[in-house]
Amino acid sequence: MIAFDLRCDQDHTFEAWFQDGQAYETQREKGLLTCPVCGSNRVKKIPSAVAVCKRYMGKDGCTSKAVLSEVLNNIYTIVKENTEDVGAAFAQEALKIHYGVIESRNIRGVTTPDEEKILKEEGISFMKIPIPEKISTKGH
């Protein structure tokens, strides 16, 4: 099975699942694809937010350790460069931002399970991402 992002001529975007790429083409050619919002059968495939890039694939079809290290290092760098590390004060800073006591900014840090519970109860969205120090690619 494969999922494609589709868009109709009325600019409605939706996802559809197919047995394979040929099944999509066959259904499209026969006019069997319809928009679930407006019913238009003028539908086309659009780029998906999630895609697999073959340059990241190893010889066996799996992502190699070196490539995985590169991707993780890129994530690490983006998070580090675009957030302020507030350490153990994360919950306090998030609450201040949420209630407008201080100016909004991107922060990262650590919390206790009790602090996480408080943030959830207050309706504050946050994401837990373990960010290790940069990963060594030596020997890969």
**Bridging pattern class, strands 2-8 and 13-18:** antiparallel
pLDDT at site 86: 95
Q: Report the distance separating Cα 106 and Cα 47, nearest Å.
A: 29
**Run means of pLDDT, 10 residues per run, the chain, 140 residues:** 87 88 89 90 79 52 65 80 92 96 93 94 86 53
Name the nearest CA neighbour of 77 among 127, 131, 130, 129: 131
Quick check: pTM over 0.75? no
What sign does the CA torsion over 59, 63, 79, 3 have?
Answer: positive
